[in-house]
C-alpha cells in the first residue's frame, strides 16, 4: 500500500520552470535564474482546452485574468476563472488548472525570498492575507481591475529589461498591487475552509513561524524554536503537528524551519553592515563556520559570496 501511495503522489515543484518542464509546456519566456516570473498564459498554451494534472507548488502564484475562462483547484476546492478575476495561492497546496479560452491572462510567481528581499521586508506583517490557507478568487469591477492592469503590465516590461535594478522595480510595483488587493480584495474577506482543524493548525504554525523569525531578526527573541516549540505553542504533540503540516503542505516542520532560516539569512545579509557572526548568532548558530556550512548546503554559496553578489547587483 505504501509503495502504491508513493507512486501516485503528485509531483512537487519548487519553481515554475520545474513545473512547466514536467507539464511539457514551453519555458523559453521564463528566466530560470530569477525567483520571480511573469508571463502571458496565452503565449504558453497554444492548444486549448488544456487541463493539468494535480501537483504541489512550493511558490506563490498570482493570476490576473483580463479575458479568459477556466478552472483552478486548490486542495479539494474548485474555483471558476472569468474576465476580471484575480486569484492567488501560497506554497504547499495541491493544485491543478484548466483553460478553455485565453485572450489575455498573466501569471506571476515568486518565492518567499523574493517577497522579503524585493517587495517588503515585513511582508507577512503588512499583508497577513498571504498566509491564509485557501482564498477564493475575486472578480473585480472593470474600473477596479483597470487600476491594477497597468501595474502588472509595467512589471512585465521590466521583467524583460536588462536593468540592474529590475528586481527592485518589479518588487516596488508589486507592493502597489498588494496594497490594491488589500484595499479591494480583502476588505470583506470571509475565509473559507479555515474552520477545518488541520487548516487552523497550519495557519497558526505559519504565523508563529513568521512572527518568531521576525523577532529573531530584530533581537526580540534569542532562543530559536525547534519542532517541539512550535507544537507546544498549540498544545500539540510534536509528531501530530508534523503529520498535519506534512499532510497539508507537503513539507515537514523541520523543512519549513530550514527554508525560513535560509530566507531570513538572505534577508539579513542584504544589510552589509551587519557582521556575519551576528547573523549567525541571531539565527541560533553557535559558530559562524556552522552557519556558513549550513547556508552553503542549501544555497550552494557561502554567506560571504552571497553578500558580494548582492553588492554587485
214 and 181 inside one domain: no
Number of structural domains the chain divides into: 2
Does position 2 have pLDDT exceeding 50, yes or no?
A: no
Please identify, among 139, 160, 192, the residue that sits at the C-terminal boundary of a domain.
192
**In this predicted model, what pLDDT tens digit does every residue of 234-266 receive, in sequence order?**
888 888 888 888 878 888 999 999 999 999 999
Write down the residue that cell numbers 475565509 correspond to. Answer: 191
Please identify, among 177, 192, 207, the residue that sits at the C-terminal boundary of a domain.
192
Residue with the larger pLDDT of the pair 196 and 80: 80
Residue 248: which CATH number?
A: 1.10.10.60
Nearest to 90 by CA among 118, 112, 122: 112
Residues above pLDDT 70, as percent of the chain: 92
**In this predicted model, what pLDDT tens digit does every residue of 203-241 receive, in sequence order?**
889 989 989 998 888 888 888 899 999 999 988 888 888
Most confident of 114-118, 149-153, 306-310: 149-153
77 and 138 inside one domain: yes
**In this predicted model, what pLDDT tens digit does every residue of 155-208 receive, in sequence order?**
999 999 999 999 999 999 999 999 998 887 765 554 444 457 777 888 889 989
Average pLDDT (64-71) is: 96
98 and 177 inside one domain: yes
pLDDT value of position 223: 87
Instruction: Give CA angle at 30 (176, 58), nearest 5°.
Output: 70
Average pLDDT (56-71) is: 94
**In this predicted model, what pLDDT tens digit does every residue of 15-43 receive, in sequence order?**
999 999 999 999 998 988 899 999 999 99
Does position 12 have pLDDT exceeding 70, yes or no?
A: yes
Average pLDDT (11-15) is: 90
pLDDT value of position 7: 46
243 and 103 inside one domain: no
39 and 147 inside one domain: yes
**How many whole angstroms separate alpha carbon 173 and alpha carbon 19?**
25
CA-only gyration radius of the chain, Å: 20
Amino acid at each position: 500500500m505504501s509503495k502504491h501511495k508513493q507512486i501516485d503522489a503528485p509531483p512537487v515543484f519548487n519553481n515554475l520552470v520545474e513545473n512547466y518542464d514536467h507539464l511539457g509546456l514551453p519555458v523559453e519566456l521564463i528566466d530560470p535564474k530569477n525567483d520571480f516570473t511573469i508571463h502571458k498564459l496565452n503565449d504558453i498554451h497554444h492548444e486549448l482546452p488544456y487541463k493539468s494534472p494535480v501537483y504541489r507548488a512550493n511558490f506563490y502564484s498570482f493570476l490576473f485574468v483580463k479575458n479568459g475562462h477556466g478552472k483552478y483547484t486548490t486542495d479539494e476546492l474548485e474555483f471558476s476563472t472569468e474576465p476580471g478575476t484575480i486569484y492567488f495561492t501560497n506554497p504547499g497546496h495541491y493544485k491543478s488548472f484548466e483553460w478553455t479560452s485565453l485572450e489575455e491572462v498573466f501569471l506571476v510567481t515568486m518565492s518567499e525570498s523574493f517577497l522579503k528581499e524585493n517587495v517588503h521586508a515585513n511582508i507577512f506583517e503588512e499583508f497577513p492575507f498571504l498566509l491564509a490557507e485557501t482564498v477564493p478568487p475575486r472578480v473585480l469591477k472593470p474600473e477596479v481591475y483597470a487600476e491594477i492592469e497597468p501595474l502588472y503590465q509595467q512589471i512585465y516590461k521590466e521583467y524583460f529589461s536588462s536593468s540592474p535594478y529590475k528586481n527592485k522595480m518589479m518588487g516596488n510595483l508589486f507592493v502597489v498591487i498588494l496594497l490594491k488587493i488589500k484595499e479591494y480584495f480583502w476588505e470583506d474577506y470571509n475565509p473559507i475552509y479555515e474552520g477545518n482543524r488541520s487548516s487552523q493548525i497550519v495557519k497558526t504554525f505559519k504565523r508563529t513561524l513568521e512572527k518568531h523569525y521576525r523577532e529573531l531578526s530584530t533581537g526580540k527573541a534569542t532562543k530559536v524554536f525547534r519542532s517541539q516549540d512550535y507544537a507546544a505553542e498549540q498544545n500539540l504533540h510534536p509528531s501530530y503537528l508534523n503529520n498535519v503540516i506534512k499532510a497539508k503542505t507537503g513539507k515537514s516542520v523541520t523543512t519549513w524551519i530550514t527554508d525560513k532560516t535560509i530566507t531570513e539569512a538572505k534577508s539579513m545579509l542584504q544589510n552589509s553592515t551587519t557582521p556575519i557572526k551576528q547573523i549567525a548568532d541571531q539565527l541560533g548558530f553557535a559558530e559562524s563556520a556552522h552557519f556558513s556550512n549550513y547556508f552553503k548546503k542549501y544555497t550552494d554559496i557561502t554567506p560571504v559570496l552571497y553578500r558580494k553578489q548582492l553588492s554587485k547587483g
